């Protein structure tokens, strides 16, 4: 049997660091939706289900290596120094926000790199929601390290699970799961650009780390471990797609809203390139998507693409901004739909790591995240 309690990896630094005062949405100044309150309300709900979750703040420091495997060095250097340079150049202390973003129609002969932070802010960011404060890089670094710590534990519990299956003491109907409760989120962060509240791509860093481990071999072909990514956030994970677009491992799959943020990625026509052709699966959904619609589409995605890939691990970009009352997103999915989504992922029968992405309806955030995790464990969710 799988453990009766799911281990939750988190850190108080996810609450105390990176707290922008505001952002701009639809031309208006508004409070920062990706707030520390998100982590707090999720944790508070999980703690009411203490027979199902074990929370740990143990975090290992894996250093810069795994992050540098995913993100380019000039981008990382920018994130480290952006706020200090911004203030020196007269930027507002709330944080770094781009005033000018290079447009593809604006030619830059010689492709000159930006020389000051006011220009770099547009070169390394694609929107106005990824505010960089004095401790944003530290917060993003911490989120990546927490996720890597959970990933390392995934390897351990997956090995124990396989041994138990062989011994006949565990069933693939009850695969183990882990949860990285982190912020800032990551799936919009590309190899050299931030946006959508995201700076370092936590899940992509975790996936690449698993692939890079020389002692981890896939049971399918003896090569590197096979990773299947399920992105269930309302918004397309443009960052994860870009990072792995030319790779056959991991498999990237995404269910997301059609013609919504980030607007210019997520088409079903985006199938990967080179070795990655056919390993990038986008399924855009209409805003009127219901619980039944979503679960039916997810089940078909799993049967048609995930299971045939023969993954050793599943990594889930867990966003619940699919909720019907989410203030900046939302399908027609109700809280009752989330345990069903978790149960669909459970049926894959593969050890799974959930990594927190979006979800901004504070009143229902804990219940909805908990619903997916409890559904994965085959347990009912209670308000």
Exactly one of 188, 235, 236, 256 is catalytic; which is it?
Answer: 188
CA distance linking residue 165 with residue 21, whole number of Å: 50
Q: Is the pLDDT of residue 32 over 70?
A: yes
pTM of the entire predicted model: 0.96
Strand blocks (E) in 169-274: 177-180, 227-231, 251-257
Query: How many Cβ atoms from other residues are within 10 Å of residue 284's Cβ?
Result: 15
Following CA atoms 20, 244, 124, 202 in sequence, which dihedral angle do they give, to the nearest 10 degrees?
20
CA distance linking residue 182 with residue 210, whole number of Å: 19
188 included as an active-site residue: yes
Tell which residue, 43, 324, 344, has the closest CA to residue 181. 43
Tell which residue, 77, 140, 127, 136, has the closest CA to residue 98. 127
Consecutive H or E run containing 156? helix 136-167
Contact 22, 192 (CB under 8 A): no
**What pLDDT sits at residue 305?**
98
Binned at pLDDT 50, 70 and 90, residue 367 comes out as very high
CA distance linking residue 218 with residue 227, whole number of Å: 9
Q: Is the pLDDT of residue 309 over 60?
A: yes
Q: Is the pLDDT of residue 105 over 90?
A: no
**What pLDDT sits at residue 102?**
81
Binned at pLDDT 50, 70 and 90, residue 112 comes out as low
**Cα distance between the two ends of the chain:** 26
Binned at pLDDT 50, 70 and 90, residue 110 comes out as low
CA distance linking residue 332 with residue 145, whole number of Å: 34
Binned at pLDDT 50, 70 and 90, residue 107 comes out as low
- What size, in residues, is the chain? 383
Mean pLDDT over the full length of the chain: 94
**What Cα–Cα distance (Å) separates residue 266 from each residue in 201, 239, 257, 333, 337?**
17, 11, 9, 20, 23
Consecutive H or E run containing 352? strand 352-356
**What pLDDT sits at residue 353?**
98
> Would you call 105 helix, strand, or coil by DSSP?
coil
**What pLDDT sits at residue 89?**
92
């Amino acid at each position: 049997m799988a453990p009766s309690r799911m281990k939750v990896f988190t850190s108080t630094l996810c609450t105390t660091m990176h707290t922008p005062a505001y952002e701009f949405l639809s031309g208006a100044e508004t409070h920062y939706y990706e707030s520390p309150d998100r982590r707090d309300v999720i944790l508070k709900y999980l703690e009411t289900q203490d027979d199902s979750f074990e929370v740990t703040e143990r975090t290992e420091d894996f250093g810069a290596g795994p992050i540098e495997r995913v993100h380019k060095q000039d981008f990382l250097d920018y994130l480290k120094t952006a706020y200090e340079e911004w203030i020196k150049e007269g930027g507002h202390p709330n944080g770094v926000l781009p005033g000018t973003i290079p447009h593809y129609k604006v030619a830059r002969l010689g492709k000159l790199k930006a020389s000051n932070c006011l220009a770099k802010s547009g070169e390394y960011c694609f929107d106005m929601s990824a505010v960089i404060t004095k401790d944003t890089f530290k917060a993003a670094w911490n989120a990546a390290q927490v996720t890597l710590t959970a990933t390392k534990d995934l390897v351990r519990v997956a090995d124990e699970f396989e041994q138990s299956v062989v011994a006949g003491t565990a069933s693939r109907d009850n695969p183990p799961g882990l949860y990285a409760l982190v912020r800032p989120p990551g799936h919009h962060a590309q190899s050299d650009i931030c946006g959508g509240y995201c700076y370092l791509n936590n899940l992509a860093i975790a996936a690449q780390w698993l692939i890079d481990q020389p002692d981890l071999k896939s049971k399918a072909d003896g090569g590197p471990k096979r990773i299947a990514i399920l992105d269930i956030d309302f918004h397309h994970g443009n960052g994860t797609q870009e990072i792995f677009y030319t790779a056959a491992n991991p498999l990237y799959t995404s269910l997301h809203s059609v013609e919504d943020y980030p607007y210019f990625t997520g088409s079903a026509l985006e199938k990967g390139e080179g070795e990655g052709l056919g390993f990038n699966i986008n399924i855009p959904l209409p805003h009127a998507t219901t619980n039944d619609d979503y679960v039916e589409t997810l089940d078909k995605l799993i049967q048609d693409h995930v299971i045939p890939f023969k993954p050793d691990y599943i990594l889930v970009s867990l966003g619940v901004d699919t909720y019907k009352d989410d203030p900046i997103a939302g399908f027609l999915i109700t809280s009752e739909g989330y345990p069903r989504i978790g149960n669909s992922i459970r049926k894959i029968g593969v050890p799974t790591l959930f990594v927190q992405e979006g979800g901004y309806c504070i009143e229902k955030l804990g219940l909805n995240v908990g619903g997916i995790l409890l559904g994965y464990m085959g347990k009912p969710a209670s308000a």
